[in-house]
Structure 1
Amino acid sequence: MKLTIIGHWGGYPKLNEATTGYLLEHEGFKMLIDCGSAVFSAMQQFVLPEELDAVIISHYHEDHVADIGVLQYSLLNGKYLGKKTGTLPIYGHLEDQMGFDRLSFRDITEGVVYHPDEILQVGPFSIRFLKTKHPVPCYAMRIEAGNQVLVYTADSAFIHDFIPFSRDADLLLCECNFYGDMNGEQAGHMTSYQAGEMAEGAKVKKLVLTHLPQFGEVEQLKQEASERFSGEVELAALGLALEL
């Protein structure tokens, strides 16, 4: 599997960058994980919209879905111009009907329900889900393909279930919206210390911090996580490509 970071800021994008969006590829299959604000613009550096095979959404906060409409409009224009005409599946949960309904648009995109208690097969990817601790229903994903494992926490305060869920993952893509001495519990987000402790407890091979805050010096997040995790820690950044 190959993971490319498209957007990695929490809440809103910094100048010329994007909120949550990741491109996951395996055996030629291209899946976009979340599609937040400015993701569509940044995404075109790595993949054209008509080249996407699937999109999957963790939850319906705007920093994870804001560019769904932009993607749909682009695909509609592409259809008129004779580009790829198939219907793009966008997977999401049904615990927010209004949010889910936004995933379908004419015959351009189709919202497809995933059931969190079942394994979802999307192309070469087998996906398991874990409900997170966030103000709205949100699901972490354990994605497996070719004996490789990526765990994406999505948005969440720390929960102990993350440790068995992430066990022995090749890559843990963990949200980190707060610094080590802060408390993200009420906001439904994690600190750098918690991310490091989770990675250590789950014995993952590599930790990548994402959903970063716009304040402070983000290099401090890496330093703090490294105090709690003995493995490799990296900060998400636009264009960072990771081979699992």
Structure 2
Amino acid sequence: MELTVLGGCGAWPTPEQGCSGYLVVCDGFRLLLDPGYATFPALTAATRAEDVDAVLVTHGHPDHCADINPLLRARALGGADPPPLPLYALPGALDAVLALDTPGMLEGAWELREFTAGAAFGIGPFAVATRLLPHFVPNAGVRLTGPRGDVLAYTGDTGPSGQVPELARDAGLLLCEATHPEAVPAEDEECLLSAAPAGRYARQAGAARLLLTHLWPGTPHEDALRAARKSFAGPVSVAVPGAVVLIGVT
């Protein structure tokens, strides 16, 4: 299993990178995970729009799903005529982004496959397990298991939850939201995470490595890394565009 970071900025994109967005490839199957603001250009640098096989979205905030719109435009209007793109999301999470264009303009470009948090299902070669994690809107943490047992766990956006280390149990990679390095402001503390507990969760889960993402724009990466390393002794890095992580059985 191979993960390519398309963007990892929280809330809004910066000149350096887009928001959350990850391309996960296994046995030639291309799964796009959380295509947030400004991730589509990075996606098309890695693969053609028509070659994406499915999209999985953790929740409906636009910094996690806005670039579904240019992706569908490229597929519907680009002349390649690919099949409808399966879109996996919680009920209602994609209503706003799918309503951006004139009705009928993108007809046939997608096939919506809604699921409830807690469900398990398959996407291509991936076995997908989900958990409801706390956020401002319903958010599904996801665990992707490849055919050879390699595991990627991804929180989406979450507040503190004992479900996170369970989701990431023995994962090859925990991709974890870390909006702040240490303390989360009181008004957000139930719905967002910092790098400090991300490190603790990775240790509790026995994850092989930790990739911090969704940092607030302008956050020094070293501050987040330092906070996570207080609890987690394994490899820790910050999601930046173009970073590639190979996730395999060791």
- TM-score, normalising length from structure 1? 0.93
The equivalent residue for 2:220 is 217
Distance in 2 (CA, whole Å) between partners of 1:158 and 1:185 is: 14
> Could you say what secondary structure the match of 2:46 adopts?
coil
AA of the residue aligned to 2:244: A
Is the counterpart of residue 169 in structure 1 residue 166 in structure 2?
A: no
Task: Check the 8 A contact 2:65/2:97 in 1, yes or no.
Answer: no
Please state how far the C-alpha of 1:208 moved relative to its aligned partner: 0.4
Q: Which runs of 5+ in 2 are unaligned?
A: none
Q: Which runs of 5+ in 1 are unaligned?
A: none
The equivalent residue for 2:235 is 232
Distance in 1 (CA, whole Å) between partners of 2:62 and 2:95 is: 13
Is the counterpart of residue 89 in structure 1 residue 92 in structure 2?
A: no
Distance in 1 (CA, whole Å) between partners of 2:232 and 2:119 is: 31
Instruction: Map residues 94-133 of structure 1 onto 2, 5 A cutoff.
Output: 94-96=91-93, 98-99=95-96, 102=99, 105-133=106-134
> Could you say what secondary structure the match of 2:166 adopts?
helix
The equivalent residue for 1:67 is 67
Task: Check the 8 A contact 1:21/1:32 in 2, yes or no.
Answer: yes
Task: Check the 8 A contact 1:157/1:185 in 2, yes or no.
Answer: no
Please state how far the C-alpha of 1:172 moved relative to its aligned partner: 0.2
Is the counterpart of residue 134 in structure 1 residue 135 in structure 2?
A: yes
Task: Check the 8 A contact 2:141/2:167 in 1, yes or no.
Answer: no
AA of the residue aligned to 1:234: S
The equivalent residue for 1:7 is 7
**Deviation digits for residues 174-203 of structure 1 (CA, Å, limit 9, x no counterpart):** 010012144467262111111001111111
Q: Identity of paired residues, percent?
A: 30
Distance in 2 (CA, whole Å) between partners of 1:151 and 1:97 is: 22
The aligned length equals 241
Distance in 1 (CA, whole Å) between partners of 2:123 and 2:99 is: 20
Distance in 2 (CA, whole Å) between partners of 1:102 and 1:235 is: 33
Please state how far the C-alpha of 1:100 moved relative to its aligned partner: 8.0
